[in-house]
């Protein structure tokens, strides 16, 4: 190697090391460094009380954020008070922002199904009303096709009508701040609610022990 080329190579190497050292978690393994412009996608699911739908997705690698909110209704700017009283057409839902290069939509669908009762119409566990219906709100034709295929598999597994709707995504309104990450902010109250609601017992009956 010529001397000039050797200097240039050394400078480039130092620059790469400097960039990697900016994120210490990746300094020893540049293959794990995050992309500067990470691609993201959005999935929206209604599975009854949105408090109970954030955690299953939050724990997945590749999920960037989860947001509790309302979708599927008619009026603008819905509030928890209005939605929870019924009659607005809205469903409590969770919007999942994720990196499709890390976690697939199929995996998100699988997590969704295993955290709901797909046989219940307009209710989930102890919560009753159309606001607690289950639904998959697809954002693209690909999401629609995958959602319909997954619903067919669930139907074949139970051999019973599946109440979960598959509908085009509309406007999503984030719920009030105190609802966001409720399971983490208020763990004692959340665990008490979940136990009294019988969610885990019913999921065990439907799907068996968590994987």
Structure confidence by residue, pLDDT tens digits, 80-121: 999 999 999 999 999 999 999 999 999 999 999 999 999 999
How far is residue 97's CA from residue 205's CA, in Å, rounded to a whole number? 30
Confidence of residue 211 (pLDDT cuts 50, 70, 90): low
Q: Which residues pair with 123 in a beta bridge?
A: 128
pLDDT value of residue 13: 38
Exposed e or buried b for every residue in 153-162, given b needs 16+ CB within 10 A? ebeeeeeeeb
Q: Which residue has the tokens 């309104």?
A: 173
Residues known to be catalytic: 49
Helix (H, G, I), strand (E, B) or coil at 13: helix
Q: In this structure, are residues 147 and 136 in contact, taking their beta carbons and an 8 Å threshold?
A: yes
């Amino acid at each position: 190697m010529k001397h000039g080329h050797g200097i240039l190579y050394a400078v480039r190497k130092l620059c790469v090391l400097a960039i990697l050292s900016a994120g210490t978690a990746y300094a020893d393994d540049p293959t794990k460094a995050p992309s500067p412009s990470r691609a993201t996608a959005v999935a929206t699911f209604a599975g009854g009380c949105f408090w109970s739908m954030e955690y299953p997705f939050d724990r997945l690698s590749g999920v960037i954020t989860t947001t509790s909110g309302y979708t599927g209704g008619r009026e603008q700017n819905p509030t928890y008070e209005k939605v929870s009283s019924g009659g607005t057409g809205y469903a409590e839902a969770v919007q999942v922002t994720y990196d499709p290069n890390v976690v697939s939509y199929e995996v998100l669908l699988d997590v969704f199904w295993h955290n709901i009762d797909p046989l219940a119409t307009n209710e989930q566990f102890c919560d009753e009303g159309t606001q607690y219906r289950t639904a998959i709100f697809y954002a693209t034709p690909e999401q629609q096709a995958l959602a319909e295929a997954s619903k067919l598999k669930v139907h074949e597994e139970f051999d019973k009508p599946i109440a979960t709707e598959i509908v085009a995504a509309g406007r999503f309104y984030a719920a009030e701040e105190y609802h966001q990450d409720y399971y983490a902010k208020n763990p004692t109250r959340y665990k008490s609610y979940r136990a009294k609601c019988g969610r885990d017992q019913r999921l065990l009956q439907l799907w068996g022990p968590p994987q």
